Amino acid sequence: MDIRRIEWTIHTSGRRHSGTDTPVSIEIFRDTTRLAYVWQEPGNTPRLSRGEVATYSWTFVSLTGIGVAVSGKPVPYTESFPDGFAGHLKVVYRAWGDDLWRVGEIESHVVAGAMRFTPGTIDAWEWVETPHRVTFPGEDVLSTDAREGVVTLTLKY
């Protein structure tokens, strides 16, 4: 399975003290290999406020900048998950400050992509994406202050 991007719809808790100004990062892993390191929230912005629902995404890119083209059309970059993403994809949220963030439900779409050739043509094709939905229910508290929560939240797909 070739993964093009991952999307997250985050439901920040509506409870008191649920928004944060703490920087939050995300690491994306295939088994033990880190594929991406992203700043989800740089801190001191209103993006992770109490009761917010927001969607974020990460689209995989070639670190070399070298792409592939077939029949003159660029093929979007993907990360290969030979055995599928279930049991192999892991996303780790990390708080970098002590202003707690109470995370509610996280809905995620893992978007696979593939070339589909057009029957009856020599080389015509289209890019087809298939989303796979995964939901992480519950409520977790992220903070570097151990009295308030934990530093990391790991989503195991």
The answer to whether residues 21 and 12 touch, using CB atoms and an 8 Å cutoff, is no
Q: Which residues of the chain have pLDDT under 70?
A: 42-47
> How far is Cα 129 from Cα 4, in angstroms, rounded to an integer?
8
> How far is Cα 8 from Cα 93, in angstroms, rounded to an integer?
12
pTM: 0.86
| Whether CATH 3.40.50.1820 fits 2-156 | no
Sign of CA dihedral 58, 37, 60, 64: positive
Per-residue pLDDT tens for 133-152?
999 998 888 889 988 889 99
